[in-house]
A and B are shown apart, each in its own frame.
Chain A
Amino acid sequence: MGSEDSHNKKDDSKTIGKSRIFTSRSLLVTLIGAFVGGLVFGLPGYLSEEGAITIPRLEPLFASPYSSVTIFFIIFGASLGAMIASLASANQVFLTAKTGSSGEKSRHKGQNINKWLSWGIAVLAAAVILSAVGYIWVLSAAYGNGADQDTRIGYTLKNVQRVPGDTPAQLGSYMSRMFPSQLLEAPADPLAAAVMAPIASARNQTLVYGMGENPVDIDSLVEESLSLYSDGPVIVIVSADEPAYALPAAYTAAFFGAPVVPVEEGSIPQSLQNTLGSGDGSAGNEKLILVAAPEYLLSDTSLEELEAYGEVNRVADENIYKHSLLWARSRWGNFGWGMDETYHFDAYYNFVLANPQTPEFAAAGIPMAYQGNYGPLLYTAPGDLNDYVDQYFWRLSPDFFNFPSDGPFMNVRVVGGPQSVSYNAQARADLGLEVHSFKDQVAGASGLALLGWSWFFIGLFGAIWALFIMPRRLPYSSFYPRLYWPMAILVLGPVGILAFLMSYHERPIISGPMIKFTRPPWARALSATIMSIGIGMPLMIASMYFFQFVGLPLLRSFEFTSVFWLGSPMTTIMWLIMVIPAIILSTLFYMGPMMADMKEMNYFAGVRKAFPVVAVSMIAASIGMFTTAWYVMMWRGWMSGEDIWLWVTPLWVAASVGFFVALVPNYFMVKAGWKEGDM
């Protein structure tokens, strides 16, 4: 407290202009930034939701309903873009000369110990919160960590089982055990098996791979198949090379009934020409010809001949994994699995999962396309589950609405040994396909979780924005508000940003020993509330995380008493542990020294004056927070934990409710003159 202050006091309370966060130009630039950011991030979000691209390692996000990932990415990009644009376009406002600001400045020049501590507390709380919310992203990106599995009895998992068979022939003979009907022996040739698949299914036989004589006369098999399905509306053309592309189509053809015809580049087999040519040419007899080979195996020109006989439709993707998904998703009338994941909520899907480098296993598994709990073939690389398939599984991840036992359920059967499809890939599929509550997808994100994350990122970018914008646009703001406003915005998200704008935008500035902002009473209550809980709330969230990390305290000493609920971690004990340190730290390091500055008293007098204000505000805020958290967790089933995606939603919703509850006593405290709310 220098002599300058007392000097300045003489021409006190002079309006020295208005604070302005945005100018019309910077507002425009900010809006453009939000638009561009939303576009830049929203587009990949949309494309991945359409299955066109993947976001490796973030597949669990796609457990949420269709469109929520896109919305989340748009909001993420828009807030990031707005932040960058706003900071880039905001001009520095300079202090007007000959005001109290010189005194202000001198007081703020030195970072005394108390300020260092205040700064340290804020920084530490922010880091704890950010590392806590970042944990699930790291966890997701790291694919988790696997235990030593050598004591496992075998490969059976709850949603994914592995069919015994270390060689394709063993797998083939296991099929005859699984489906003990009449057998159709197929040679150890995936292409021959693909051709025979629809024959076996039409005759209600189990195709047994690796048993029949080799080589086999494929042409006569094709002929047989064509005559068997001569009335059928669909013919499936595959390439004679690379059977991995033929097999997903063979699974479809086996179930839905269509001949599979291998074609070499440049030569349409005579049997096919005969079959197609023998038709009377009427529209009714025209076939739908599906080509399950990419352009590099069968070129467009080589298929031109076929166009005379019917509609030729290439159903193929050079990416073999996308190729298998294409056949699982597509449907032509009633031909094709049609297992599209968009808006999927009800049906049960079964899949066979194989490695395209070992198509023999996929071929040996063909009976699972049309017998038992039948379904299409999908491919994965041996190591990690393929990203496209992973994303597809998370999208299909079943939701329950009343009981998890209600269904739907998804099941996968893996073929091949661990060199074909690893245990980790199998376990990943098992994780993604587990049934979860619609609102809490646990290891995956739900719509509610992504809404929480959107809210959080608005808060995060808002906090960074406030951190930089305050010194630039509000040179009169002092040390403490520059810390507690960003912290408040971090936990309050959009609510915090709105409170910030309402407190500081277009407010007349009054000079004096402390620069003050003239505000209507409600805005003073707003500012006063942030002042007393802006640090306390983040501290509470940080300590919540700490307790979740080490385990919440459950007190068994309350068992067998009428106040048993006091032992529950969700009630009183947690509240005390969280709110008391928050009150003490806020008082000693924020509100106390600020009160001392404002009222020009010594530190301890400031602390004494600050304590009741902080205590009332924090208790009000924490009651709002706890009641909300308790309600959404215990009654609405939004269970929380730092390692599940839904973690942020209940906490951040609860924080905002806490803020609104704290507004009430603050309004009255401002009216009663306990605090001013004009900082």
Chain B
Amino acid sequence: MKPVYTLLTVAILSLLLTLVYVSLWEPQGEPLNVSTLQNEDLLELTGSTARLSGDNYLLTATAYSQAIYASAQDKDRPGAVVLVRDDDPAVALATTRLQHMPVNAPMLFVTENGTTIPEETRDELERLRPEGVMMDNNVQVYIVGDIDQSVAEEVKQLKMKPRVISASNPIELSEVLDEYIAVLESNHRQIVFIASTDALEYAYPAANWNAHQGDGFAFVTPEGVPEETRRMLEKRWPYYPYIYVFAPSSVVDEDVMAELSQYGHVQRIPGDTPQEMAVRWAGYKDSGHRTSWLVGYRPRSVGWGYAEPGHNMLLASPDDWRVIVPSGVLSHMGKHGFLLLTGPDGELQDTLRSYLQVLKPDPTHPSQQVFNFAWIIGNDVSDETVRELDDLLKVSSLSTNNSNLSNLNNSSSPENNTLPASETIPGNADNTINSTT
């Protein structure tokens, strides 16, 4: 065989195979071509924030998914979509961990007691056309929780590959899901978050973290630590789990904490209200041992732990879990923000205000400036609150006579060569500019 024939055959065959892959691509759709004013109030922008909302909770979940996955080219599609029931907050909270890599998925809802894929969800599934999770048979849709078989059938009719992870209740589900992820990652996650089935709102921030990091998630009940959770905690072999409890002592008391300590290192996230816990969690960082062996180790680093400018967040009203929990996808990609909550009155609380003081950037030359950014989640946060948040996030103004930005490097006499700061950094010009009207 002459080498040149071999080479040619290889080249032609490679080309043919490539054509086959290309022919398998999704057909090209119509690019978006609507008014930029469409839903402008639901997608309101300020200098440092952007709102993401739909007309209802189903479309709000869709709005998150649309922000993260443009679906305009192959690489901005998700790996899969996670479907959960719209009436089971505990399952949704436990499931956000599945959204993390390698699955890479937004969370959408099924309705009518887990029997129906609503139109809003179906539209988004079709727009997304998930790539499939390579690590699991190119699965495209995860159906998680106590969901009717017909939903999986409907997914198949949409020509997508479903994976059902089911259990009759959330406590059992968290263990079943943990086993699935253990097989997927060939490891049980050593970090485990604990929520109380009685006070789920405290665990919202943990759910957002989990969409971003995919750690373990389990429940305790007012009766104590259920059997499923115990079994789950025992599986972190050869080391023990690091357990973080998202509930104040009024919900999960010292006895339960002591019980959990039989299984591993246990800590409570501070905060007496869900709002406070969200703020404390944003600043929380627990570092140290996770696994170690003869000569090596893998450390743990749990919590966002941000105490400096240059970070992003999500601000939600605590009223509707169906608006909050799917927002995990915004912590998973893009701005990777942590979740913060307004008070029950819809306003920012003082703990939050003082935390945001910590994050407020000082101005430096723009080539080295850092900024904050916030997603406003859903339509329940008022414009006034957004305005206040925007003020708290933006780069602070320079004090009047700070002229460090206006020196040109060839200056010889500084006083002739400096601009008043207010002309350099806009924001507080009122007291220096008076020569014009």
Contact present for A347 and B367 (CB under 8 Å): yes
Contact present for A333 and B183 (CB under 8 Å): no
B33 at the interface (CB under 8 A from A): yes
Taking CB atoms, residues of chain B closer than 8 Å to A634 are: 185-186
Binding site for A on B (CB under 8 A): 1, 3-4, 6-7, 9-11, 13-18, 21-22, 25-40, 42-43, 45-48, 50, 52, 54, 59, 62-63, 66-68, 70-77, 101-102, 123-124, 126-129, 131-139, 176, 179-180, 182-187, 212, 301, 304, 306, 310-312, 330-331, 333-338, 365-371, 373, 387, 390, 394-395, 404-413, 416-420, 422-430, 433, 435-436
A349 to chain B, nearest CB (A): 8
Contact present for A555 and B183 (CB under 8 Å): yes
Contact present for A202 and B32 (CB under 8 Å): no
In the assembled complex, 10 residue pairs joining A and B whose CB atoms fall closer than 8 Å, in A order, are A145-B25, A147-B77, A150-B34, A154-B36, A156-B52, A170-B37, A228-B435, A430-B76, A554-B136, A570-B135
Among the listed B124, B366, B408, B425, which residue makes an inter-chain contact with A375, where contact means beta carbons less than 8 Å apart?
A: B366
Taking CB atoms, residues of chain B closer than 8 Å to A257 are: 406, 419, 423-424, 426
Among the listed A202, A203, A423, which residue makes an inter-chain contact with B72, where contact means beta carbons less than 8 Å apart?
A: A423
Taking CB atoms, residues of chain B closer than 8 Å to A427 are: 70, 72-73, 76
Kindly report which residue of chain B lies nearest to residue A224, judged by CB atoms: B436
Taking CB atoms, residues of chain B closer than 8 Å to A285 are: 416
Kindly report which residue of chain A lies nearest to residue B46, judged by CB atoms: A178
A368 to chain B, nearest CB (A): 8
Stretch at the interface among A68-76, A127-135, A652-660: A127-135
Among the listed A135, A143, A349, A553, which residue makes an inter-chain contact with B73, where contact means beta carbons less than 8 Å apart?
A: A143
A149-B71 contact in complex given A283-B412, A405-B312, A409-B335, C-beta closer than 8 Å = yes
A612 to chain B, nearest CB (A): 29
Contact present for B32 and A423 (CB under 8 Å): yes
Kindly report which residue of chain A lies nearest to residue B120, judged by CB atoms: A151
A149-B430 contact in complex given A127-B14, A142-B22, A374-B366, C-beta closer than 8 Å = no
Contact present for B333 and A158 (CB under 8 Å): yes
A164 at the interface (CB under 8 A from B): yes
A35 at the interface (CB under 8 A from B): no
A495 to chain B, nearest CB (A): 21
A255 at the interface (CB under 8 A from B): yes
Contact present for A135 and B21 (CB under 8 Å): yes
A407 vs B35: C-alpha distance when bound (angstroms): 32
Contact present for A409 and B72 (CB under 8 Å): no
A276 vs B33: C-alpha distance when bound (angstroms): 49
Binding site for B on A (CB under 8 A): 111, 119, 123-124, 126-128, 130-131, 134-135, 138-139, 142-159, 161-166, 170, 174, 178-180, 199, 201-204, 224, 227-229, 231-234, 254-257, 282-285, 288, 331-335, 337-340, 346-350, 368, 370-375, 402-405, 407-409, 411, 413, 416-418, 422-424, 426-428, 430-431, 434-435, 442-443, 464, 467-468, 470-471, 482, 548-556, 558-560, 564-565, 567-571, 634, 639, 641, 643-644
Among the listed A152, A165, A256, A431, which residue makes an inter-chain contact with B76, where contact means beta carbons less than 8 Å apart?
A: A431
A466 vs B326: C-alpha distance when bound (angstroms): 55
5 tightest Cβ-Cβ pairs between the two chains A and B: A372-B47, A144-B73, A158-B334, A148-B29, A551-B138
Among the listed A170, A254, A338, A407, which residue makes an inter-chain contact with B365, where contact means beta carbons less than 8 Å apart?
A: A338
Kindly report which residue of chain B lies nearest to residue A339, judged by CB atoms: B367
Contact present for A233 and B408 (CB under 8 Å): yes
A565-B186 contact in complex given A162-B36, A284-B413, A405-B212, C-beta closer than 8 Å = yes
A644 vs B301: C-alpha distance when bound (angstroms): 28
Contact present for A154 and B25 (CB under 8 Å): no
Contact present for B423 and A202 (CB under 8 Å): yes
Dominant secondary structure at the B interface:
loop
Contact present for B136 and A551 (CB under 8 Å): yes
Kindly report which residue of chain A lies nearest to residue B188, judged by CB atoms: A564
A78 vs B331: C-alpha distance when bound (angstroms): 44
A128 vs B10: C-alpha distance when bound (angstroms): 9
A224 vs B433: C-alpha distance when bound (angstroms): 12
Kindly report which residue of chain B lies nearest to residue A560, judged by CB atoms: B179
Contact present for B45 and A123 (CB under 8 Å): no
A464 vs B14: C-alpha distance when bound (angstroms): 15
Among the listed B7, B131, B367, B408, which residue makes an inter-chain contact with A464, where contact means beta carbons less than 8 Å apart?
A: B7
Contact present for A165 and B37 (CB under 8 Å): yes
A153-B212 contact in complex given A144-B72, A427-B73, A548-B134, C-beta closer than 8 Å = no
Q: With contacts A154-B40, A338-B366 known, what are 6 further pairs, Cβ within 8 A?
A: A127-B10, A139-B75, A144-B76, A145-B25, A204-B430, A560-B179
Taking CB atoms, residues of chain B closer than 8 Å to A570 are: 135, 186
Among the listed B13, B68, B72, which residue makes an inter-chain contact with A147, where contact means beta carbons less than 8 Å apart?
A: B72
Kindly report which residue of chain B lies nearest to residue A630, judged by CB atoms: B186
A372-B136 contact in complex given A154-B38, A418-B31, C-beta closer than 8 Å = no
Contact present for A639 and B422 (CB under 8 Å): no
A402-B301 contact in complex given A161-B45, A423-B31, C-beta closer than 8 Å = yes
Contact present for A153 and B183 (CB under 8 Å): no
Taking CB atoms, residues of chain A closer than 8 Å to B48 are: 372-373
Interface centre among A161, A164, A570, A643 (most CB of B within 10 A): A164
Among the listed B31, B138, B336, which residue makes an inter-chain contact with A424, where contact means beta carbons less than 8 Å apart?
A: B31
Contact present for A564 and B183 (CB under 8 Å): yes
Contact present for B301 and A554 (CB under 8 Å): no
A558 to chain B, nearest CB (A): 6
Contact present for A284 and B424 (CB under 8 Å): no
Kindly report which residue of chain A lies nearest to residue B183, judged by CB atoms: A567
Contact present for A146 and B184 (CB under 8 Å): no
Contact present for A554 and B185 (CB under 8 Å): no
A153-B6 contact in complex given A434-B334, A555-B183, C-beta closer than 8 Å = no
Taking CB atoms, residues of chain A closer than 8 Å to B123 are: 151
A442 vs B77: C-alpha distance when bound (angstroms): 12
Taking CB atoms, residues of chain B closer than 8 Å to A556 are: 180, 183
A255-B43 contact in complex given A372-B394, A408-B310, A559-B180, C-beta closer than 8 Å = no
Taking CB atoms, residues of chain A closer than 8 Å to B33 are: 418, 423
Kindly report which residue of chain A lies nearest to residue B338, judged by CB atoms: A405
Contact present for A405 and B417 (CB under 8 Å): no
Among the listed A348, A442, A464, A569, which residue makes an inter-chain contact with B310, where contact means beta carbons less than 8 Å apart?
A: A348
Contact present for B29 and A139 (CB under 8 Å): no
Interface centre among A124, A284, A331, A339 (most CB of B within 10 A): A284
A204 vs B425: C-alpha distance when bound (angstroms): 9
